[in-house]
Amino acid sequence: MSIESNRIIIFDTTLRDGEQAPGATMSIEEKIHLAGYLEAMGVDVIEAGFPIASDGDFQAVTEIAKLAKTATISGLSRAVRGDIKCCYDAIRHAPNHRIHIVIAVSDLHMKYKLQITREDLIARIKDTVSYARTLADDVEWSAEDATRADPDFLCECIETAIEAGASTVNIPDTVGYTVPQEYFALIQMLKQRVPNIDQAVISTHCHNDLGMAVANSLAAIQGGARQVECTINGLGERAGNAALEEIVMALRARPDQLPYTTGIKSEMLLRASRMVSNVTGFPVQVNKAIVGKNAFHHDYFFFKARERTA
């Protein structure tokens, strides 16, 4: 797939990031069933889990990888060799598989969470991405908290990751902090300032803390991103992630403003929403866009009242 095309890669992380919503734990059988439906629906990349997190997660990712046919199966890994090897052992059974490495790049996270210097981080990116490439051809690298990172350092990190072998670079709005015009400008800046950016797909991963995850994701697409990381029903930690169904239908409904396509079979979106709701026990709000019970209904009370008083 040409990274300059208008085809948007849909990366579904319901089984990994979505499960981080408190109370949203899914059984292995439920994950396998949902992964099969996501693949049938046309999802390009399914992030099946975080294999190092637990034996159960490792088993779920392994079984999903064994059953996959067309979708790329991704597993998440911290920027640690042990995580990466564990991830590969789980995903390697899929015909198409991806190692997804994440590490924070903002000064705030480096100081208080990682307790490392910028020089240490650059060295770790080189080491872990190059190691992952010895195991798999498809490696994604995520710059956690990218929207609060120093722009110059973010560019250096991304250039380093691509040089080391990353074919996808993800620019997460980890804490749901940015706004659409700002995020658009960030993606544009990366396209202009990272010299090897044409060798990788730019990905977006937005959280919904300010209610702008979908808007930010669409702005990133307009800025040059060609992969969107999202979840069914916007499931995820805190206020959730960008909702897959809203992104897909926005692109389909407004090609005049958003001339991009996906491989998603939109007629399957409602069932996917119901499946995730039933599995997690999280009800879909009735006025939720696209999949809510009232999304295509309205009450005639106002008009009837006017008739009676006319």
As a whole number of angstroms, the distance between CA 121 and CA 139 comes to 18
Q: Is the pLDDT of residue 302 over 70?
A: no
The DSSP element (H or E) to which 302 belongs, if any, is helix 301-309
**Predicted TM-score of the model (pTM):** 0.94
Q: Is the pLDDT of residue 99 over 70?
A: yes
As a whole number of angstroms, the distance between CA 143 and CA 127 comes to 15
Q: What DSSP string describes 235-297?
A: --STT-B-BHHHHHHHHHH-TTT---B----GGGHHHHHHHHHHHH--PPPTT-TTTSTTTT-
Instruction: Judge residue 256's burial from the number of C-beta atoms within 10 Å of its C-beta, 0-12 exposed, 13-18 middle, 19 or more buried.
Output: exposed
Q: Is the pLDDT of residue 307 over 50?
A: yes
pLDDT of residue 25: 87
Q: Are the CB atoms for 76 and 16 separated by under 8 Å? A: yes
Q: How confident is the model at residue 70 (pLDDT cuts 50, 70, 90)?
A: very high
Identify the structural domains of the chain with CATH numbers, from first to last: 9-283 (3.20.20.70)
Give the residues across from 99 on adjacent strands.
75, 139
